Structure 1
Amino acid sequence: MLPPRSTELPGRKKAWKPKTKTGCITCRSRRIKCDEEKPHCKRCTSTGRRCDGYGALTLTAQTQQIIISPTNTSLASAMNGLQLNSAQEQEAFHFYQYRSVGEISGLYDKQFWEVQVLQAAQASAAVRHAVISLASLHRKFITGRMPVVPDDTSDKYLRFAWQQSNSAIRELLQSPTQTTIADKIHLMTCCLLFHCIACIQGHQSTAFDHLRSGLKFMREVDQEIAAGCPVSQQNLAALRSLRYIFVDMDTQARTILNEKGQLEWEPFPKCDLAVSPEPFKDFQDARFYFEATYAELQRVSIEVAQTPLQEAEQVEKILQTLSDTRTQYQRGTVLLNEFLQKVPRVTRQDEEAVISILLLHKYYGIIMWTRPRFDGTQVIADVDVDEEAPELEELLDLASQLIHAPSTHTLAPESLPEDYYPSTQAHERSKSAKPALTNPVFSSGTRVLCALWMISCRAGDMELRRKAIAMMLDCPRREGVWDSVIAGRIAWETMRFEETATNGNYQEILDRTPSPHGAETPPIDKTNRISVINIEYVGARVARVEFRSNKHCKQGEKGVFRYMSW
């Protein structure tokens, strides 16, 4: 900034030069030149002063452009205690604090991502490197066009992210045996960060592996605590936050796992989500209430599906559990209505928080009341789609508000599933590729994709399906292992199969002529309904998807297979 003008200019003027802002915090506060030695400048250490490091950054123009209206963070000074060895590491950490935390946490888990992760990064070099890697990948992710980052070795941000990820792994391998509960909390945090890193890269199998590792560590800690191992209040608080996130991610993962994967997956983690009859204090309370209710319903459904019941006592217990979860959901509905009447809706964030919890409530409600239906020996997955129609329309409206998509948005005429995700690189290079409505979003816990998936596969109204599929494809987002574009493509293939099948038999794609967009389509015969979709990951970014109709399942036949890559 130029010095103020003066009517008098006495004596010799000092030439103005722009001040640099890359010196250490101590030298800048003393207004003296810093030699910028890392990690601590000699100007401070030679005079016996404490060098406070280089916490405040000068960001590149690109990062300043990406970070739009950053909000204040409760740990704005957290980097002062971190050993960040380069400007690139500092910038990545700054990006994590001011952009990644808000997006990844969504509306619920901000305390963990904003506070506990940074506290763990101060104590663990592995966590610190993993956070930097995640932030660097996230920065690349939100500037792209698809919900994965390309495997581009020429990109400096991606190379830096991979280097940091490797450094985190190296720190874990070189560290002494980690046996305390505090050690395992850091390991679980690393597993969670590695899981997110793999998700952003589109490496689904690797993401599942990291999630499994975290669930195993959680189980070990629970066993140690049950055996009387002492644990501090700080560690208990950290475990509580980690448990919420791992239970949520476990629930997400089970909705994608194929039949074999379900059998081989980890045991259900200890939920420990308190379902209290007390009024909700915040959105987090409301979310945990409905998550816990659904987690119990999911556990029962999977157990019954995997092990047919034989004893009358078992049947009675299952029926009672299903009844209890529905009663619990109804009580939660009353609590939610009372809570929302008191919530101010002043800012856009306030309104989105309300829409988000309403979507979560509506999504679980549809599952709660339309399935699972239990005939005494097994779960009946088939439901009357007309029964759900009004509920699915409301769910779509809530989802469109959250992702800022027009409620009228639908699939373009003459478009095909193959137009999306031919490969990440090809899509990036293609000048004719259809631009997305929004930049890619990486988040957790919102259930937007689960809601759109439900609509796209279960709605009896084909136009409602097309709208849900279009929103997944044109508003790219990733929620854990859920990829909106892959989900949209699978849902689109499902709809095409069901529309064009004859008596449960499917022709080749080239022979099919689905109904024109907007055209009134006859109801789909139950025989043609796709009731099972199995996804098998056969490569880093390749999946083999099996579509099995009711006829296939009834006759014990294999379904139709399609390969998809991203």
Structure 2
Amino acid sequence: MAPRPRIASGPADVKVNLADMTMFDALRFQIAGLVAGSFDHAFWTVDVLRACQVQPAIWHASLALMALHQSQRPQTVETFLRARHEKLSMTHSTAAIRHVIALTRQRHLSQAERETLLLASLLLAALSTMQGDLPQAVMHSGNCIQLFHQWRFWEQHRSSATRRGSMLNADSIGAIIAHVELQLLSRLKHINVPPWGTPGSPPKCSDVSFRSSTDAYHEFQPLFTSLVGLWQYADMGVKAQPRPQIDMRHPYLVEFQRWKVKFDALRASGASAGVDAESMLTLHLHWHFMHIGLTANIYIGEVAFDEFLPVFRDLVVEAGELLRVLPTSPSADMTARPAFSFTMSVVEGLFWAGHGCRDPATRRDILHLIKVWPRREGIWDNSLMAAMLETSIGLEENAWRSASRGGACCCTCVAGSFICNDHRINNHIVEFLPGGRARVTFETVGDRRGNKPGFVTTLP
């Protein structure tokens, strides 16, 4: 593990007061336990702290995030203390945005300044997410992704260490941005930049063996995002479409098989066992998610995912095991909001598993896991994900009651046992609203084929 950076008193051109240093001490010693997930411990304890020392935008954005977190702690019951933290957070977030705007007006940016814009956008996205301002979180995330592609940052990916003039480890920042992009690609159609280069040309796995689960994560996440981007680009989610002559997933399958060989070797070595149980289970779960997406015969319609029912049931078991090893919340209050993290999202994968599965009992087991998951892994709120899945299940399982949605002549649903192709939910289009809510459009295969508007509701 990389050593923590030597701590100074903030960037040279920033005036620091006692309240700032108190909050920075909280950032230094608490941030990893509060927001670090399975793979980004070094990102928070090394990269962010290093950048805080030299870049005012990162200093202010980090303190804003920490102050907001302090204001939302269940123990912060005193109104005046909560208000003081909220005011401090607002002051620093305003200063961070001011420094970001100043950087964007420069004609030429150094490597460190480019990294500052990427990192500041990520931190501001996290801040907006914790505030419940999801439209703002999407805006900051979109800015980060746009710059990432504009500067072709993935070409620095898998660097052995931070480059000269860099503050950040390219592996770490690349994987986090890939995860953020994955979350936007999944349902928010307004971000159309094909991820990680040309669709059909996935990132290449290196020949170097994995020494840790973090190494495996750094290669997995860009591949994962690239494949989801391919599905969006090729509209592969439209079930029962004509089978193409060439399956564009094949190059991805080759790279994921190479990744799996190295991952299996890491598991067999025992190098990450015990102390790394959370991250190894997380990666194994995501391998299942991706294996389904790579091998499902989506061209046969509504039965495409039925052959994976044993895998869906295994996912429920493995997710339950992972839930037991996740760090427990510092509060015993089960109504407290899940802790925020940039880590790769298990809830995201469970959502898509529940979407693909048609077995009623297994779907409800998956839904229960999403509802009780203790960590918010990215901008998507767990309660919103649960509400979306629950609505999808209700629409699909009750479609047989109404002939108006697909037409009685098209519907072959059997109550409680079969959902026909026309009534399968094929697409979710999400518009984030103020207050953490969202307007969601649920489109079935029949809706898209008949150019119908779909079912629209506000959740949660």
- Interval containing the TM-score (normalised by the shorter chain): 0.7 to 0.9
User: In the TM superposition, what are the counterparts of 1:393-472 in structure 2 within 5 Å?
Assistant: 393-404=313-324, 436=334, 440-472=338-370
From 182, 206, 223, give the equivalent of 1:276: 206
Aligned to 1:207: 137
From 369, 375, 388, give the equivalent of 1:490: 388
Q: Which has the higher contact order (CA 8 A, sep 6+)?
A: 2
**Amino acid in structure 2 at the alignment position of 1:560:** F
Distance in 1 separating the partners of 2:116 and 2:440: 36
Distance in 1 separating the partners of 2:221 and 2:301: 21
Distance in 1 separating the partners of 2:305 and 2:384: 24
Determine what percentage of the aligned residue pairs are the same residue: 20
From 225, 242, 257, give the equivalent of 1:330: 257
From 500, 523, 527, give the equivalent of 2:398: 500
Larger radius of gyration: 1
Aligned to 2:436: 541
* Contact 1:132–1:164, Cα closer than 8 Å, also in 2: yes
Q: Deviations over 1:195-219 (max 9, x none)?
A: 1111212222211211222223334
Distance in 2 separating the partners of 1:110 and 1:548: 39
Aligned to 1:216: 146
Displacement of 1:255 = 0.9
Q: 1:524 to 1:267 in 2, by over 3 A?
A: closer
Instruction: Using structure 2 for the length normalisation, give the TM-score.
Output: 0.80
User: In the TM superposition, what are the counterparts of 1:42-61 in structure 2 within 5 Å?
Assistant: none
Count of residues in Structure 1 that have an aligned counterpart in Structure 2: 426
Distance in 1 separating the partners of 2:134 and 2:64: 18
From 154, 166, 171, give the equivalent of 2:94: 166
* Contact 2:205–2:258, Cα closer than 8 Å, also in 1: no
Distance in 1 separating the partners of 2:387 and 2:404: 17
Distance in 1 separating the partners of 2:203 and 2:27: 28
* Contact 1:437–1:475, Cα closer than 8 Å, also in 2: no
Q: 1:555 to 1:439 in 2, by over 3 A?
A: closer
Aligned to 1:65: none
Q: Deviations over 1:107-126 (max 9, x none)?
A: 22333222121121111112
**Amino acid in structure 2 at the alignment position of 1:162:** M
From 83, 106, 110, give the equivalent of 1:155: 83
Displacement of 1:158 = 2.2
Distance in 2 separating the partners of 1:405 and 1:498: 34
Aligned to 2:310: 390
* Contact 2:354–2:367, Cα closer than 8 Å, also in 1: yes
Question: What are the ranges of 5 or more consecutive residues in structure 1 without an aligned counterpart?
Answer: 1-71, 145-151, 309-314, 407-433, 508-519
Displacement of 1:398 = 2.1
Distance in 1 separating the partners of 2:403 and 2:73: 41
Q: Deviations over 1:416-439 (max 9, x none)?
A: xxxxxxxxxxxxxxxxxx963886
Q: Counterpart of 2:166 in 1: which secondary structure?
A: helix
Displacement of 1:304 = 1.7
* Contact 1:455–1:464, Cα closer than 8 Å, also in 2: no
Displacement of 1:243 = 2.5
* Contact 1:405–1:475, Cα closer than 8 Å, also in 2: no
Q: Counterpart of 1:563 in 2: which secondary structure?
A: strand
Aligned to 2:184: 253
Q: Counterpart of 2:108 in 1: which secondary structure?
A: coil
From 38, 45, 67, give the equivalent of 1:107: 38
Aligned to 2:3: 74
C-alpha RMSD of matched pairs (Å): 3.7
Instruction: Using structure 1 for the length normalisation, give the TM-score.
Output: 0.66
Aligned to 1:59: none
Displacement of 1:504 = 6.0
